[in-house]
Amino acid sequence: MFGFYSPGEISLPARRNFLQQAGLGFGSVALASMLQNETARGAEVSDPLAQRPPHFPGQVKSIIWLFMTGAPSQVDTWDYKPELQKRNGQELAGSDPKTGFFTTSGKCLKSPFAWAQHGESGSWVSDLFPHLSKHVDKMCFLHSMYLKQNNHAPASLELMCGTNRPGLPALGAWMTYGLGSQNQSLPSFVVLHDTRPRGDDQIWSAGFLPKTYQAMTLDARRKESIDNLVRDAKHSDTQQRSQLDLLRELNQKHAKARPTQADLAARINSFELAYRMQMAAPDALDLTKESESIHKLYGMDNPECATFSRQCLLARRLVERGVRFVQIFAGKGVGGDGSVNDVPWDCHSDVQTNHRSCGLHTDQPAAALLADLEARGLLDSTLVIWGGEFGRTSDSQGDKGRDHNPNGFTIWMAGAGVKGGFHYGATDPFGYKAVENKVHVNDLHATLLHLLGLDHTKLTHRFNGRDFRLTDVGGEILKEILRNPVA
């Protein structure tokens, strides 16, 4: 009758009475059709979120990626270039006016920020980061990042999915696919954002992997609320549990008749996860349970950074509860004309005004996150990553701005598995191009998967007749940056 079973297989009351008594409504009938149309996953996994052993012992349990949407300038943040400062306004040898999205002048633009060395490592940091500069001895800097795309959406796709082709799984989805969930009552992959970044859903997509591995997104504009989480007030917990049990029984009959559609197991388990989240998620997202001192540490009382501080504190609470991958897309920045920018670190017209605003928005919360994780012993198992989708040009766009630059930029990591106060790779004397120990995103992903205990060449998924992996046909582990050497 409903597409779940054959006549005579099970005895049910009249259709109208059945729906009224079960309280399921016609949404459950539509579910049968939806389940029939789901794409099959080519792996035999009864519970797709069950925790699975890594290929070898990993050093990292969770990753928090602070994604600096819009792409910060490497030569104004972490990659100090005295030669650029000296030659302001002079011709930049080897510059290409079409490197970025628009056209640049070909003339050097010095950093408008003051620079100083910090920590025992003597790491150079601009005055954009008075709080983060205190943590440089925890940071492993990759100064020679590069990629192929020179605009926000395709570059973000390349950085998170290994290539700029839409429809491929992001890093967080691959992590969950390979390792499962550490907490069966919370998603394994969570994204927090304010304004939606360019490329939005594709950046955190599960791609051709089952949708079980898709990120749960929390929008800061809606105070990180989760849609449809609260149980209907007309139903008690016992009634809801009975409804889910009946729905599971019918779904399992449906799945048993279709053994090749392995993705059905993922869809069935998603209902159970939603049920368990009704208790776990509100607790994880309740920041009133944190002390006033923690609120102040993160800057929640500071209107300049209140949104990002809340997101960083939520990230700590989530990894504390076993969430594997949390990604925060920084969402506020001011352009040269004073307007709010949906790609906040994008500094085409005025790098000084733009980056000062973004520094105020992100510096204190990010530093608090590092300090808080360390104080709780979580930095031994958590890796924090800071960076944008590419860098900026060393020559000017207009008088005071910088264009996009995919040829050289800085990302830093801090925490589990990587050397602190360590600098890897280098750009040229003007910070224009990566020239030493160049790091492509495939190399970064290979290294991150290694830290999680996954061999990037063996973490594959068969789709459309071929095996895919996050690193495609590339990727070299950055052995020099690891605390524990690789044979």
Q: Mind giving me the DSSP string for 373-440? A: HHHTTGGGTEEEEEE-SSEE-SB-BTTBB--EETT-EEEEEEETTB-TTEEE-EE-TTSSSEEES-EE
DSSP character string of 250-266: HHHHHHHT-TT-THHHH
DSSP characters for 90-129?
SB-TT--TTSSSS---SBB---SS-EEEETTTTEEEETT-
Please tell me the predicted confidence (pLDDT) of residue 32. Answer: 37
Q: What is the rounded distance in angstroms from the CA atom of residue 467 to the CA atom of residue 46? A: 21
Which token pair is 461? 């998924």
Q: Domain segments of the chain: what residues? A: 62-226+291-481
> Tell me, what's the pLDDT at 273?
61
Output the CA angle 361-145-430, nearest 5 degrees.
Answer: 85
Angle at 306 between CA 300 and CA 307, to 5 degrees: 130
CA separation, residue 475 to residues 127, 196, 414, 472 (Å): 34, 29, 21, 8
Kindly list the averaged pLDDT for each block of 10 residues, start to end, along the chain of length 487. 38 49 41 36 58 95 97 98 97 94 96 98 98 98 97 96 94 96 88 85 92 87 65 61 62 65 60 62 86 97 94 96 95 57 89 96 98 98 98 97 98 98 98 98 98 97 93 96 84
pLDDT score for 297: 98
What's 66's DSSP letter? E
Q: What is the pLDDT of residue 277?
A: 61
CB 305 within 8 A of CB 362: yes
CA nearest to 160, candidates 152, 151, 171 = 171
Give the β-pairing of 123-126 and 139-146. unpaired
**Cα gap 284→280, rounded to integer Å:** 6
| CATH T-level fold of 62-226+291-481 | Alkaline Phosphatase, subunit A (3.40.720)
Look at residue 259 in the predicted model and tell me its pLDDT: 63
Q: How far apart are CA 316 and CA 314, in angstroms?
A: 5
